[in-house]
Structure 1
């Protein structure tokens, strides 16, 4: 029983450590750009794809 409690405590400690490391994964500001000033190209591409898909869907209405 004690071994199980130790194992659970170790897992929880590991999860907490991981959560703290990932609290600020890429350093994004509120606009979605990286704090380094370099825009996220993947995010921009995704938004463009979503807008194009929405335009196609609305054109078929």
Structure 2
């Protein structure tokens, strides 16, 4: 670890920021996965409805 007071302070700040960023990054990835899952479910549902309409028209 650093010997100079300002360098020690910077190291502590950097560690706090790293932990904060890791938390935010994890939350963002989770929300992105949930969003993509919902979009794919909606796309499948829409395709199913279109195929059902085509079958009913035939």
TM-score norm. by structure 2 comes to: 0.48
- Greater share of helix: 2
> Which of the two has higher C-alpha Rg?
2
Which of structures 1 and 2 has the larger relative contact order (alpha carbons within 8 angstroms, sep 6+)?
2
TM-score norm. by structure 1 comes to: 0.46
